[in-house]
Chains A and B, each alone.
Chain A
Amino acid sequence: MTIYIDNDYKVHLTDTGGLTAEEDDFFNDKCQALAEAYRLVPEGKTWTREDGEEFPGRIISPWKDLAEPEAAQREYEREQLAALKAQNADMAAALEVLGVSE
């Protein structure tokens, strides 16, 4: 999945300009709130924490507490599941109209 990082290596799902594109499967199926709670430091780059400790990439790590983003992720997954169930129901109804039964 393509994500975009800013100068502080924080992840964004859309390129608002001046961001760098990166590919990583880690962000597959993550909602925006959860994906954007992470920092991705690419290989060859180094992020320096406020205490001066340096972290060379490639690193993926949350830059803020994940409690709220993870709650958003659970809600996102519930919505995805509900949409899938509705889609399945539509397909079953269409099959029934066509006379196809189990």
Chain B
Amino acid sequence: MIFYFNQISFEAYITVTWISGGVCTVSNGNVSYTAPNTSGSYKFTVEEEGTYTATVTVGSYTFTGSVSITENGQSKSLAVDCTLVLWGSNSSADEWSISVNSTGTSSCGRSKSGSNLHAYWSHNGNYPGVTITGTLTYLKNVPLTGYKTATIKASMSGEWPNAKLYVGGANVKINETSSQTTYSLDVSNVSSGNISVSGTAAMNQNTHIYISSLVLK
């Protein structure tokens, strides 16, 4: 005699997209699934209903997104936003360092001014022909792989207003303007390097820059 058991099975699908290079895990609190690759897209098969949270780990950063599975056979998509905010209204100026390449002839500083990151570098004293370079550097290690665009919103003033945003080996010029202006930089082929804003100043001249946002997407 053969007995047939009516097996109750549940199978639903969550297609998650995230930034390539990140590790993606999906969990409903009971069961976790990890994508077998870091390509940035994977179709997970889940065997329970519930709310699933996708957690993407990129270096020391984590990003999350949620989706609800309610029916057997259901198929849902979830795009995890992995936007990396390097400067926003909640950021701290302590995450940045500032320096100039010449001591005794120059000064520099950085602070949070309202919601902006204010940085300046000044070339003081009677040193004709000497040009200094001021550099504002993001102190955290940023995983650049997978990110395609760096976007900075900034204004700039001073007697010698010139600066560039550097992301690894790429840079974009920031223009002299008192209004907050957005600049975008293609970083899709940049995999490593520091993130900084750097410019020069001649004798008795200075640069002030006010950054209201800086993000990687």
Contact B185 A61 (CB under 8 A): yes
User: Which candidate, B5-13, B122-130, B167-175, is the interface stretch facing chain A?
Assistant: B167-175
**C-alpha gap A10/B1 in the complex (Å):** 76
Q: Which residues, 34 to 78 on A, are CB-close (under 8 Å) to B?
A: 38-39, 43, 47, 49, 51, 53-66
**Cβ of B159 under 8 Å from chain A:** no
A49–B172 Cα distance when bound, in Å, is 15
Q: B169 — which chain A residues lie within 8 A by C-beta?
A: 38, 61-62, 66
- Give which listed residue, A43, A47, A57, A64, contacts B189 with CB less than 8 A: A64
Residues of A close to B172: CB separation below 8 A: 55, 58-61
B interface, how many residues as a size bin?
10 to 19
Question: Using a CB-CB cutoff of 8 Å, which residues 143-165 of chain B contact chain A?
Answer: 148-149
Q: Which applies to chain A's interface (DSSP): helix, strand, loop or mixed?
A: strand
* Interfacial chain B residues near A63, Cβ < 8 Å: 189
In whole angstroms, how far apart are the Cα atoms of A89 and B170 in the complex? 38
Is B190 engaged at the interface, CB distance under 8 Å to the other chain? yes
Q: Does B180 contact A (CB under 8 A)?
A: no
Distance (whole angstroms) from the CB of A48 to the closest CB of chain B: 10
> Which of B148, B185, B188, B191 meets A59, CB within 8 Å?
B185
Interface size on A, residues (CB 8 A): 21
Establish whether residues B184 and A53, one from each chain, have CB atoms under 8 Å apart when the complex forms. yes
Q: Does B117 contact A (CB under 8 A)?
A: no
B191's partner among A49, A55, A65 (CB-CB below 8 A) is A65
Which residues in B have their C-beta under 8 angstroms from that of A66?
A: 169, 189-191
Flag if B189 contacts A60 (CB, 8 Å): no
**B residues less than 8 Å from A57 (CB atoms):** 173
Known: A62-B170, A66-B191; 7 extra A-B contacts, CB below 8 A, are: A56-B184, A57-B173, A59-B185, A61-B190, A62-B189, A64-B189, A65-B189
Interface residue ranges, A against B (CB under 8 Å): 26, 38-39, 43, 47, 49, 51, 53-66
Q: Which 8 A-B pairs have the closest CB atoms?
A: A61-B170, A62-B189, A58-B173, A61-B186, A59-B172, A60-B171, A55-B186, A55-B184
Selected A-B contacts with CB under 8 Å, 17 pairs: A43-B173, A47-B186, A49-B186, A49-B188, A53-B184, A53-B186, A54-B184, A59-B170, A59-B173, A59-B186, A61-B185, A61-B186, A61-B187, A61-B189, A65-B189, A66-B190, A66-B191
Residues of B within 8 A of A (CB): 148-149, 169-173, 183-191
